[in-house]
Structure 1
Amino acid sequence: MTGSTGAHGASRTPTDPSQASTGQLIGELPDLVTRLVRDEVRLAQAEVKGKAKKLGVGAGLFGGAGLVALLGLNALITAAILGLANVLPGYLAAIIIAVVLFAVAGVLALLGKKDVQDAKPPLPTDTLDSVKADVAAVKGSATR
């Protein structure tokens, strides 16, 4: 057994598959499968980390946009109250605008609840596809 050191062959160097015997290839299979699984786990971790980073940046940008939009909405609400106060008492104009805003908030909350319930957890889909392809390749070569 060339290329192995130690009592259990802990640091084997992979042999050239075209020149290796079937016994050598079968002997290397556990190490190769272990390495493949570890590599796939590292790939999944990297993919999830990248997606989480993009998600964080996107959420921050949406948060900033939401804050600026809220300030603009406040200015429009104030203008609506002041405009309505020309024909009604000021307190009544503010109450009417508040009721309309609460109704809009209720509709938005119901829509948001539906979307949150329909959301699916983020998965490393590219890695899952890669693992499925690896399993299919191993099954295909095992039947030969």
Structure 2
Amino acid sequence: MAHSVSPDHRDAATRVEEPSVGTLVQSAMADMSTLVRAEIELAKAEIGKSAKKAGISAGLFGAAGVLAAFAGIYLFVTIAEALTALGLPRWISYGIVTLFLLLLAGICALIGKRMISKIEKPERTLETLSDLPEVLHREAPGQRHRAVPEVNDGRVALRGNESYKV
């Protein structure tokens, strides 16, 4: 007669203890936590290195700008002295260079003014900001005076049938 061996009656030496579901979940959570911490540390290290490089680069650009400004000053002094060497009195030479710089500054200001006047106001944002105090007004703590506007199909409903496209 053949005897069948059930899994519960195996030799204790060959049986492997399988961890419980709780142990597996705990192990997975610990591994995930370690992985997240390692990723955060890596990001901190990379961002720190990048931020340091960006700061140094910005400082170097600033220094280049200051040096270029000094070079510009000396360039205009040189132009004035060249005009003096051509036979003009020194005060007239410097006056010509000064007028040229003022003319250049005026042209830049006019161009800047035209560009600023072409900037469009954020009309919808201004409209929603003006409605914000009404929307957020509360009669009593925890109760809204009226319903918050709803967004349906890219349209924000304000009051009644009024709406505008987002």
The normalised TM-score by structure 2 is: 0.42
Whichever of the two has the greater Rg, that structure is 2
Higher RCO, Cα 8 Å, sep 6+? 1
Higher helix fraction (1 or 2)? 1
The normalised TM-score by structure 1 is: 0.48
Higher strand fraction (1 or 2)? 2
